[in-house]
Structure 1
Amino acid sequence: MQSTPSVYAAKKISSQINVDGKADEEAWQQAPWSDDFVDIEGASKKKPALNSKVKMLWDDQHLYIYAQLEEPHVWGDIRKRDAIIYHNNDFEVFLKPFDNQPLYYEIEVNALNTVMDLMMPKAYRLGGDAVMHWDVKGLQSAVHVAGSINNANDTDMFWAVEMAIPFHSLTTFARKMPPKVGSYWRINFSRVQWQHEVQDNVYQRRKDGGKFLDEENWVWSPIGVINMHHPERWGFIKFVESTTPNPAVPPDFRLEQAAWNIFYLQQVYHRKNKQFATTIAGLPGYESLLLPAMNTWSHTFLLNEAKSFYKLTLTDPMTEITVSLDSEGNYHTVHE
């Protein structure tokens, strides 16, 4: 979980996008493709068997996403909105617009353009639960199939998803949209891919011994573990006015990464010792993962008497950025 996340510079546009799944407007032609998706666990795993990639654009009203998913057998059978879409092959969008809130959003769509959207107050592993009745108000989505869908007698090329996500649907009372030029959001994309079989000319997920075979999880920016609900491990979208090659991670990334490394190592320590370490230097992996950076940053570490709760604060004196993070996963970033 130490890889540097992917970054995509999304260009601001003034022309209109017709959301039809085809992305044939000139603005889309000028938008670069992302890196190809990889296994969710990262480069140590085998390369995905099928290619997946995305593009992004934005204007004052919408974030536009176009995904192209190579697929010789396009199929789907879930047609009810907010059903468990990842029981079909699907494309998933994860969005976290705000640094200082744990809340984030998820949108899933299958090849039938059936949508599931939800809001997460915080990640499942930190005690969060999905708010399924929440919807992305005004969401536009369309699917284009290069081939045919649910036809087991031919070979298809790909299916594509195009979305226009209204910024106003992602606002909170205190946080307004659209994003500012030069700002960053956390974002990631996932593709769930099942092995299939055909019975009576109908596609379905393959079983072995009465159990479904495990799905593949292919993502734009790898997590390091098989769990998309690590928003601190997602990639970044940078909102720009013109095409920017090779955009850098935001200036607070390394500080935030170090804070989360301490969080992960504290979890390892707690599982073994039933309490949290009293000092950062007492953590396993301190020298290999933390020591070089900790020599240049200042920190405070507050621990309660029962050693069951802590709060960490890291400050980079060069940038005057401060990140605070506690044992329940609540964190806050301050730019002086």
Structure 2
Amino acid sequence: MLKPFYIIIFLFTTGSFHAHAQQNLSQALRMQSLPKTYPVLKTEEAIVIDGLNNETAWARAPWSDKFVDIEGDFKPTPRFETKVKMLWDENYLYLYARLDEPHIWGTLTQHDAIIYHDNDFEVFLKPSEHQSLYYEIEVNALNTIMDLMMAKAYRIGGEAIMHWDVKNLKSAVHIEGTLNNPNDIDSYWSVEMAIPFTSLGTFGRSPTPRVNSFWQINFSRVQWQHIIENGEYKRKKENGKLVAEDNWVWSPIGIINMHYPERWGYIQFVEHIDKDSYPKSQTIEQAAWNIFYLQQLHFAGNNRKYSPRLETLPGFEKILKPQVSGIKHRITINKDKTFYKSELLDPANHIKVTIDNFGNYTISYEQ
């Protein structure tokens, strides 16, 4: 039974905004898996960034779950295994990724080239729950880096800030095999990075995470089918078009789009590994974003109008009803129903979240 209260406030506004995202209810349903979690162990040992995981500290760090298809478990298991480890100290987030690969190749050597045109490994980082700002780092087997900053996701009007760089990033690639040699079978390539906290910080906030604090993070592997032409690897084409790449990720999104930071996994910066945990805000945040997704579907199917009541949203029974149990909800909507703002309150954890049809999102902790 739905327990939240509703207050419907009519405002007089003009214009509307609808972000492009999931297109139907089946896609929204696929976006309901719990995000992955990983405890990042603090280390006092110096980590040499050489593409290897030789240090004792790496032996103490657990492997992540194996990567799956970006759309989730209903898709085939990836052909090649991928997994990561992470560590941290006062200055860096360290990561080590191993990508099994029988044919290791790469062509791009210019910084900020579109690295996913090669097979690549990608890191997505969102350090603050209070900001929409996030970062992306891509690397290929040649250790060529593309890095960018997003003020907000593409689907809600964000644009890539390509001139931004991860200042003082350290990265290295190790190849167990031979690069760009189609005459043998390779084993794997690995990526090791030290990502400086100071390069991800914002004014007025300490760049080093607090012990037991959370970040949102995800990893992606883009894998192309290939042919060998004149002794060189080429991306495979059929009927003159490139065969679509595979997208393998640590924490599945549900649709083929990595730019859903609210669907990424969580890392927790710990001094001792106990058990995986989620931030207290995870449930209310997921509920807020599901309201956003389902309002978009309602908008598309109801003459470009949003709903003043959750119960009328498509997928309410399957998706929202169990999530909003015990959560209070208030909606502000204008007279012609082209604008809404939802406010959710979790009394048990004293957390308030707001979200509107523009994708503007806030979270606060009430006393």
Q: TM (normalized to structure 1)? A: 0.98
After superposition, residues 296-335 of structure 1 pair within 5 angstroms as 296-335=326-365
Q: Secondary structure at the match of 2:284?
A: helix
RMSD: 0.9
Equivalent position of 1:167 in the other structure: 197
Displacement, 1:62? 0.3
Q: Which is bigger in relative contact order (C-alpha 8 A, separation at least 6)?
A: 2
Give the distance between the partners of 1:174 and 1:329, measured in 2 at CA: 25
Displacement, 1:23? 1.3
Q: Does 1:225 align with 2:255?
A: yes
Match of 1:22, as an amino acid?
L
Q: Does 1:70 align with 2:119?
A: no
Displacement, 1:159? 0.2
After superposition, residues 120-135 of structure 1 pair within 5 angstroms as 120-135=150-165
After superposition, residues 1-336 of structure 1 pair within 5 angstroms as 1-245=31-275, 247-273=276-302, 274-336=304-366
Give the distance between the partners of 2:93 and 2:321, measured in 1 at CA: 39
Identity in percent: 56
Displacement, 1:299? 1.3
Compare 275-284 and 22-31 and name the one that shifted more: 275-284
Match of 2:294, as an amino acid?
L
Displacement, 1:305? 2.2
Displacement, 1:174? 2.7
Compare 230-239 and 287-296 and name the one that shifted more: 287-296
Give the distance between the partners of 1:232 and 1:181, measured in 2 at CA: 22
Match of 2:267, as an amino acid?
I
Residue deviations 1:188-243 (CA, integer Å, cap 9, x gap): 00000000111111111011111110000000000000000000000011000012
Compare 267-276 and 289-298 and name the one that shifted more: 289-298
Query: Unaligned regions of 5+ residues in structure 1, if any?
Result: none
Query: Unaligned regions of 5+ residues in structure 2, if any?
Result: 1-30
Q: Secondary structure at the match of 2:165?
A: coil
Post-superposition, which runs of at least 4 consecutive aligned residues in structure 1 deviate over 6 A? none
